[in-house]
Amino acid sequence: MGEMSLSGLEKMQGEANKKFIESYDAAQKASEKAAAAEEAFYKAAQDYTFGDMSDESFQKKEAAQKAMEEAKAEAERAQEAMEKAMKDASDAEKAVNDKKDELRRERDNDTTYVVHCARIECTKGMRESYLVLGPTHGVKTRQIPQMTIKDILPEVNVINFGGCFSMENPSVKAAAEAAVMAAQKTIEDKHNQKGCIGRFFDNVVDWFVGDHEMNVDESLMQKCVGECLANFAGNPKWEKGHEKVTINGDPVLLRRCSLTCNYGGCITILVSGQPE
């Protein structure tokens, strides 16, 4: 699997995840069926033991026992299939992550041309994103519009990363402040509760943490995510573009290039966008 492309490995991961979900559902249903069969057997056994002990009730008990044994065997097989599917899904996830790590290690020296819909990462971003073009520069690589070091416009070229963890981002601090306000309101509401139970919990909280206000600090901000607001200073451009090849005077964008956000995030190119 190590020689496969990232997209190929991700396709396999998707299939493995789907198979795991299906096997999990099958195992759940098989377990429920086995439990129902076991209950039916115990009822049939009681009917026979405490009933008339007729041949008919004996046959029902025997049939119920057989159905229970078959259902339990089916549940065991379903459980084994689910465990195998879970391992396959875990292995597929590892293969994808290993491939991404390999691509990251190779990036610094990779002079592959970057094209529309390249996949990008940010060290402060919540998830991967894409680098895209609106109007093209009139040059294509493998029939896909090629990009330059000037393609840096937020939400036009650099699609946001879903969220930002940078403590330099004002929205991260705002998220932390909102969390503190919500927590303090919960504490105030608790203190305003009436009755023995409310007073008891007041005493427990005061014993362990005291009766003081929470503050926004670095440890809290590290746990918060703010809005991704890509921001580039001065005359921004991707670093380490092509030294000789240009499009309309701008160096061609290469996979080795990087871009730094004002909030400290380093944006890099995971996959060039060219067919793998």
pLDDT interval class at 194 (50, 70, 90): low
Say what the pLDDT of residue 179 is: 74
What digits encode the pLDDT tens for the residues 142-181? 999 999 999 999 999 999 999 999 988 888 888 877 777 7
What digits encode the pLDDT tens for the residues 207-245? 444 445 556 556 666 778 889 988 898 889 999 999 999
| pLDDT higher than 60, residue 202 | no
Q: What six digits make up the tokens of 186? A: 């919960």
Say what the pLDDT of residue 157 is: 96
What digits encode the pLDDT tens for the residues 28-37? 999 999 999 9
What digits encode the pLDDT tens for the residues 105-148? 999 999 999 999 999 999 999 999 999 998 999 999 999 999 99
What is the distance between the alpha carbons of residues 141 and 116, in angstroms, rounded to a whole number? 10
Q: Single out the residue of 275, 272, 7, 268 nearest to residue 128, CA to CA.
A: 268
Is 0.85 topped by the overall pTM?
A: no
Q: Compute the 3-state secondary structure of the chain and give helix, strand, coil in percent, each to the nearest 5.
A: 50, 15, 35
Residue with tokens 């330099």: 168
Say what the pLDDT of residue 235 is: 87
Which whole number is the average pLDDT over 44-61?
Answer: 92
